[in-house]
């Protein structure tokens, strides 16, 4: 008997059709493709995404390269933030099977991820699994003041410290301060983050 795919309430937003094909083999969900950078000039697509966000919520899942973050950041400004969740895949170097050469940054995109990695990214983003498999909501959120207090901003070595943290947590290196804040709040409490940074300091 074929195993049933996990069903997700939110609509998933990906860059292209190969990403959609990979995800559709992993989860049972509405998946919308952006057509890459063409979404920047597609008012109808944006209007559709806003309607979807209001109706059921959205989860944005783009590649971890620079182009993926340009698209992600554009959507952050164009869509209602309280209705959109951000899912991040890790930086994994390699080449998708269908491509003759690796991408510009040599990283695998959404289409190159395994089902287990994709499911974990969606769970960490707070996806609503119809089987009740979503993660519980976290406590008080991490703020920019916390980043400063933890040495991740506003100090001479904060940039290097952020990069070390991103590497330690297997998060994309392209995350800016706001993106880092979003990702940390999806994954950790303040206490957990402080503990991780303590461990990071011991290994430096």
In tens, the pLDDT along 45-68 reads 888 899 889 888 999 999 999 999
pLDDT, greater one: 166 or 78: 78
pLDDT digits (tens, 9 = 90+) for 95-128: 777 777 767 777 889 999 999 999 999 999 999 9
Confidence at residue 195, expressed as pLDDT on a 0 to 100 scale: 83
pTM above 0.75, yes or no: no
How many Cβ atoms sit within 10 Å of the Cβ of residue 114?
Answer: 12
Which H or E run includes 18? helix 17-24
Q: How confident is the model at residue 171 (pLDDT cuts 50, 70, 90)?
A: confident
Is residue 137 scored above 50 in pLDDT?
no
Q: Does pLDDT of 159 surpass 90?
A: no
Work out the percent of the chain whose per-residue pLDDT is above 70. 87
**8: which strand partners?**
129
DSSP 171: -
* Cα atoms in the Cβ-side hemisphere of radius 13 Å centred on 89: 28
Checking if the pLDDT of 41 tops 70, the result is yes
The answer to which of 97-101, 116-120, 130-134, 197-201 has the lowest mean pLDDT is 130-134
Strand partners, 11: 58
Q: Is the pLDDT of residue 153 over 80?
A: yes
Q: Tell me the pLDDT of the chain averaged across its residues.
A: 84
86: phi then psi, degrees, rounded to nearest 5: -110, 120
Q: Tell me, what's the pLDDT at 21?
A: 95
């Amino acid at each position: 008997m074929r195993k049933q795919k996990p069903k997700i309430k939110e609509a998933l937003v990906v860059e292209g059709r190969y990403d959609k094909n990979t995800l559709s083999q992993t989860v049972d969900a509405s998946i919308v493709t952006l057509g890459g950078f063409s979404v920047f000039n597609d008012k109808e697509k944006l209007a559709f995404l806003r309607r979807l966000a209001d109706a059921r919520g959205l989860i944005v899942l783009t590649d971890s390269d620079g182009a993926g973050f340009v698209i992600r950041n554009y959507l952050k400004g164009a869509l209602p933030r309280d209705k959109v969740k951000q899912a991040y895949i890790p930086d994994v170097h390699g080449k998708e099977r269908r491509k003759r050469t690796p991408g510009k940054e040599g990283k695998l995109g959404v289409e190159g991820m395994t089902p287990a990695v994709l499911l974990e990214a969606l769970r960490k983003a707070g996806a609503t699994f119809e089987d009740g498999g979503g993660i519980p909501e976290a406590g008080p959120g991490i703020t920019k003041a916390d980043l400063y207090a933890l040495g991740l901003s506003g100090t001479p070595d904060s940039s290097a410290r952020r990069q070390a943290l991103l590497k330690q947590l297997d998060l994309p290196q392209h995350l800016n301060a706001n993106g880092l804040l979003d990702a940390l709040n999806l994954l950790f409490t303040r206490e957990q983050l402080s503990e991780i940074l303590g461990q990071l300091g011991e290994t430096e």
